[in-house]
Copies of this chain bind each other. A is one copy, B any other.
């Protein structure tokens, strides 16, 4: 009998992954971003196929990742985690720049950011894994610690939105176990 609590001990950070350009951009909160090779510096991020940002990554071939810190305000989580870019312009009033690849990069509550050029797209059913090579990376603010997903859950009392790879449908899990 699978004990799904075992999954809660996997460690993740929290990021805003953005794509698009100056005319049309969007981003979403992600906990799935990691380095997959050291030379070349190559990264992977997982994105629900329904996310508006997924289409923008496919079109532009690039994405940015902003590493959020522990004191990230609820505005960022609310806007990028629980709203859709199909309904609102998530960038309204945000502090952002356009990077070396032309993609938008969120600067609010960001310790450092990375920009990647997509070299591969892996189909894992409900999600794509976008694999990309590093184009640029900068450090913005080292005064705060990176937020971990467990800190977000335990200290900030946050939960995963429905499109997250780690979303827990409690009714379903009870049936499965």
Contacts and interface: CB of A to CB of B under 8 A. Distances in A.
Interface of A: 2-7, 9-13, 31-42, 44, 46, 67, 111-114, 120, 122, 124-127, 129, 131, 134, 136-139, 146, 148-150, 164-169, 172
A37 B113 CA distance: 24
A4 B126 contact: no
Nearest to A40: B125
From A5, A37, A114, residue with most partner B Cβ within 10 Å: A37
Contact of A39 (B31, B40, B129, B169): B169
Contacts of A11: 11-13, 146, 148-149
Count identical subunits in the complex: 2
Given A3-B112, A32-B36, 20 more contacts: A2-B136, A2-B137, A6-B67, A6-B112, A6-B113, A6-B138, A9-B13, A9-B112, A12-B34, A34-B46, A36-B129, A38-B167, A38-B169, A40-B125, A42-B125, A42-B165, A122-B131, A124-B131, A129-B129, A148-B148
A17 to B, nearest CB: 12
A114 B42 CA distance: 26
From A9, A41, A67, residue with most partner B Cβ within 10 Å: A9
